[in-house]
Amino acid sequence: MLKKLLNKDTIKLDIVANDWKEAIFKGCEILLDKGYIEKKYIDSIIKNIEENGPYIVITKGVAFPHSKPEDGVNHLAMSLVTLKEPVYFGHEQNDPVRLVITLAAVDSNTHLSALSKFISLLRSSEDIEKIINSKTKEEVIKIIEKF
């Protein structure tokens, strides 16, 4: 399931982002351009972080932006963006971020298989580091295919 959602069309490498808001936008922009989400989904993610802190920085160097399906999700989707330079989200333990993996879920169930595989990937700091340092989308896909 993970490799169905993260593919050449939903992966971008070495993206420039000047701050955490831009990093989130860059990850969401892929999904917005494909019609998978609406602009209000991005706004909802940013608002949630402003109100609740950088809870989306879930492990060292990795942000996992997401919001509720009713906040503007049209289709189950994920995107993966590596950042050219690290970005600080304000998380004491897990900053700075170099990898942004965005989830757009249409309900509370359909994404669970992909989420399970994603959690397995997060447990492998070696594979996370390989993804961050990947030079091609094919390298990233090869790593994702293991999960």
Write the pLDDT tens digit of every residue in 64-115. Answer: 999 999 999 999 999 999 999 999 999 999 999 999 999 999 987 765 666 7
Instruction: Compute how many other C-beta atoms are within 10 angstroms of the C-beta atom of residue 2.
Output: 20
Domain region containing 94: 2-144
What residues contact 31, with CB distance under 8 A and at least 6 apart? 10, 37, 41, 77, 79, 102, 104
pLDDT tens per residue across span 8-57: 999 999 999 999 999 999 999 999 999 999 999 999 999 999 999 999 99
* Its pTM surpasses 0.85: yes
CATH of the domain at 100: 3.40.930.10
Q: What percent of the chain has pLDDT over 70?
A: 95
Number of independent structural domains in the chain: 1
Q: Phi then psi for 142, rounded to 5 degrees?
A: -60, -40
Q: Which residues are catalytic?
A: 66
DSSP secondary structure code for residue 73 in this structure: B
**CB neighbour list of residue 129: distance below 8 Å, 6 or more residues apart:** none
Contacts of 138 (CB under 8 A, 6+ apart): 8
Question: What is the C-alpha to C-alpha distance for residues 24 and 50, in angstroms, rounded to an integer?
Answer: 13
Please, what's the b/e burial string for 38-50 (b: 16 or more CB within 10 A of its CB; e: otherwise)?
Answer: beebbebbbebbe
